[in-house]
Amino acid sequence: MRAQAPQAVMKTDNITKAETRNLVIDTQNEKPKHRIQLSKVGVKNLKTFVITERSGMRHHIVPKVEFTIDLPADLKGVHMSRLVESMTEELSDQFRVHPSIEELQIKILDGLAQKHPFSRGEIKFEFEFGYTARTPVSNKRTWEVCDITAITRKVNNSPFIHEIEVQVIGNTVCPHCMANNDGLTHIQRAIGKLRVIGKTEAIPTYGSMIEVIENSFSSRTFSLLKLEDEMLVTKKMHENPLLIEDVCRNILQLAKDAFRERDLEMFAEARSLESIHKHDVIAQGRVVTNGD
């Protein structure tokens, strides 16, 4: 028995890499019990690190990632590691700075196509986006933060389609109460959303989308306000009372004006966090621009 042990070890050590690969059983390639096509299979709640630089501004972003592809009826599963690998390889390539989230997502999907066939692939980043602002009177520089969701889809040989949603906080002053209460009224924080869908060349910058939403409220909000700033913001709010329906229509019209030369489908949602009610109120709408 003692003389046989070294032989067994030597045999194991002499196994080639090719033979090792042949020992792997790809259960994903087996036939499933139920032959039903799945529209989305992949990973969710994966966090990574991305550096972008656009319009002269560099951003360090930690997105929460969802990465999915479709699965044919005759395959049992997806090679999940290849999804993460295709993303990691692109992000780890010298840790370079990327021109935009959308272009990075295109490269990730292109990389995955070399590793794992799919008819429909989608990658979604959810992250906080920082941008600078100036207080309206004291002119102090502040950092503001909004939420962004960026999705890139690839279906067969069709062009890449992007879906970008930007969410910004503002405020509203109720005109109905003001008109019936001797100028007294309630104010509340509001949330504006703008979602655009289109091809790569049509997608506007995040900054331009943020500007559309901020200009749609009774007034913008700021992380920092000195007393002179507070006085101006409060005055502006009461001079511009708006229903939440007004805010939603403002977002849609301003977006239509700003992006009229782009082929885009655009959706808006305005939500009021009511100060005198225990519920919120919302308004939603849609417009389309076709470059005309």
CA–CA separation, 22 and 72 (whole Å): 24
**pTM score, two decimals?**
0.85
> How many domains would you assign to the chain?
1
The residue among 266, 239, 103 whose CA lies nearest residue 173 is 239
* Tens-digit pLDDT profile for residues 35-82: 888 888 888 999 999 999 887 788 899 999 999 988 878 777 667 778
Give a yes or no: residue 79 inside a domain.
yes
Task: Give the bridge partners for 287, in sequence order.
Answer: 266
Over residues 249-275, the pLDDT tens digits come to 999 999 999 999 999 999 999 999 999
Residue with tokens 């989608």: 122
User: CA neighbours within 13 Å on the CB side: how many for 199?
Assistant: 8
Between 108 and 213, the higher pLDDT residue: 213
> What's the rounded Cα separation, in Å, for the pair 152 and 125?
9
Residue 192 in any domain: the answer is: yes
Residue 189 domain-assigned (yes or no): yes
Q: Maximum distance among all alpha carbons in the chain?
A: 103
The two structure tokens encoding residue 16: 């080639």
User: Distance between CA atoms of 77 and 67, rounded to whole angstroms?
Assistant: 15
Residue 2 in any domain: the answer is no
Phi, psi of 6 (to 5 degrees): -60, -35
Sorted by sequence, the CB contacts under 8 Å of residue 131 that are 6+ apart come out as 57, 143, 144, 145, 146, 206, 207, 210
Are the beta carbons of 136 and 229 closer than 8 angstroms?
A: yes
- For 149-173, the pLDDT digits (tens) are 999 999 998 999 999 999 999 999 9
Q: Is residue 16 part of a domain?
A: no
Q: For residue 132, give the 3-state DSSP assignment.
A: strand
Rounded to 5 degrees, φ, ψ at 272 are: -105, 125
User: Residue 75 is encoded by which pair of tokens?
Assistant: 């395959």
CA 38 to CA 118: how far, in whole Å? 11
d(CA 108, CA 91): 9
Average pLDDT of 204-208?
95
| Residue 12 counted as domain residue | no
Q: Residue 281 is part of a domain; what is its CATH number?
A: 3.10.270.10
What is the domain range of residue 54?
Answer: 27-290
* Summary mean pLDDT of the chain: 87
As a residue count, the chain comes to: 292
Domain contains 166: yes
Does a structural domain hold residue 6?
no
